[in-house]
Amino acid sequence: MVPEKGKRLRRLIPLGIFLAAWAVYLNSLDGEFVFDDTSIIQSNPQIRSLSLTSLGHIFGSHYWQTVAGQGGLYRPIVILSYAVNYAVGGLNPWGYHFFNVLIHALNSVLVFFIIRELFGDQGFALWSGLLFALHPIRTEGVAYVVGRAESLAAFFFLVAWLRYLRGNVALSALAFFASVLTKESGLTFLAIVPLTDYVARWRPAITRYAAFAVAAVAALGLRYGVLGGFAPLYINLTSNPLVGVGTLARLLTATQVLGNYLWLLVFPVPLSADYSFNQIPPVTRLWDPSVLVTAALVLGGTALAWRRGRPWFFCAAFFLATFSLTSNFLRPIGTIMAERLLYLPSLGFTCAIAYAISKARSRELAIAAGVLLAFFYAGRTLLRNPDWHDHLALFSSAAVVSPNSSLVQANLAGSLLRKDPAAAAEHAREAIRIEPGDPAAHMTLGEAYQRMGDMARAAEAYAIVERLAPGTAGAQEAARRRAGISRR
């Protein structure tokens, strides 16, 4: 009787993890579309139909189709998921948020099954799934609709991993292919296959690896055909200043940013939606303390993990492998830092904590510490979700954490235009102080002045927009507004 009862309780663990993920993200369901949601979803005609023609457009064009004629990101499956959302509920944000939370809850359960399969340890698996569900670093990948690129790519990644562990290489390769077509970082699964073999003490097999090689070539070939190259990515200097510096400065700054990420994993307070120019100035000194400390922690920690045994090395190697493509070490990416990029790599961190809890000498003390940590993570996630509710809440919170980001200041100014034009003008001026060449900030400043009745300053701001962005739609609108002012 007791063993049977124990089996039933063990079967409830995945359900408990699933419900825990839902519990901490329920207050994100009433959020609006914010930030890039407006262009990727609201303004995207590609998601308005599931016809064969629309599917052809989705799989035959780049991710930022509504913003530019050409782009360097190819993520058709995540765009397809938005089309499914639209088919079910139109542009009601609730359904999009519901899908995000569902995917995250499923990912948390998949983590449980993967760790149990890989290590044969129920306690390790339980804590891994639970902490994955609750850690607040993942809020951007869940509460932010466009963050779905991270969570959905992770879903296919985790499915591929679980199928590989269970011996179904064909399905694993298919899920891996889907992960890459959801977000480029899915390619890092190629490193997880040999890591899994090492941890599970399996012999490497070329026949197994060949399936993933074929899937990778197919995904990259499709990407090349659509984009005209493997990585023809245009990078905005404001979003990632590292594209405008030398290799050494990029590597040094990326190391400092890695340190910032590690700190947020340990203590996820405060969190920000943006770290654009000039919140993180490029590092140019080899002896910068933040660089030296981070390098020592990463190198020393990885070496120590190798010596402590396979589970510890697995955690460190998983983090480094899955973070590699979005780290700015190999090449600059579209952003200098974004918390959503840790959605999957942070599994290495939460698994390390889970393993420490499950193997601690004092079981009672470890469980008590784990429960306290889980409550801290859950509370922090619940408090963070409302920051993603609307534009004003998002950029008000971001301005506290990233006051030197011109993008944050400009977006906060835009959010305040109708409610408080004077405050909008103040933040627009701050954005211009940080980045004088931003036409959008000057446009917002002009509108703020116009709403305040200061027509002379409004006309001056509009004239600057015309000078900074000649020939663009923004310049034409600025000229129209300035002409209207002059006729008064």
**pLDDT value for 158:** 98
With respect to residue 263, please indicate whether it lies within any of the assigned structural domains. Answer: yes
With respect to residue 398, please indicate whether it lies within any of the assigned structural domains. Answer: no
Q: Are residues 18 and 79 in the same domain?
A: yes
Mean pLDDT of the chain: 95
With respect to residue 399, please indicate whether it lies within any of the assigned structural domains. Answer: no
Q: Are residues 174 and 232 in the same domain?
A: yes
Residue 196 has pLDDT above 60, yes or no: yes
Residue 176 has pLDDT above 90, yes or no: yes
Mean predicted confidence (pLDDT) in 44-50 = 94
Q: What is the DSSP letter of 72?
A: S
Q: What is the pLDDT of residues 441-479, one digit of tens each?
A: 999 999 999 999 999 999 999 999 999 999 998 999 999
Q: Are residues 268 and 184 in the same domain?
A: yes
Q: Are residues 325 and 253 in the same domain?
A: yes
When divided into structural domains, the chain yields a total of 2
Q: Are residues 98 and 128 in the same domain?
A: yes
Q: Are residues 440 and 299 in the same domain?
A: no
With respect to residue 97, please indicate whether it lies within any of the assigned structural domains. Answer: yes
Report residue 346 as tokens: 């942070």
Is the Cβ–Cβ distance between 71 and 65 less than 8 Å? Answer: yes
Q: Are residues 365 and 430 in the same domain?
A: no
Chain Cα centroid distance, residue 447 = 32
Q: What is the pLDDT of residues 420-433, one digit of tens each?
A: 999 999 999 999 99
With respect to residue 19, please indicate whether it lies within any of the assigned structural domains. Answer: yes
With respect to residue 392, please indicate whether it lies within any of the assigned structural domains. Answer: no
CA-CA-CA-CA torsion sign (216, 217, 220, 222): negative
The Cα–Cα gap between 300 and 441 comes to 44
Domain that residue 278 falls in:
2-387
**pLDDT value for 1:** 44
What is the CATH classification number for the domain harbouring 457?
Answer: 1.25.40.10
With respect to residue 397, please indicate whether it lies within any of the assigned structural domains. Answer: no
Q: Are residues 382 and 426 in the same domain?
A: no
Report residue 362 as tokens: 């004092």
Q: Across the chain, how many H-helices and E-strands are there? A: 22, 0
Q: Are residues 313 and 432 in the same domain?
A: no
With respect to residue 439, please indicate whether it lies within any of the assigned structural domains. Answer: yes
Q: Are residues 152 and 222 in the same domain?
A: yes
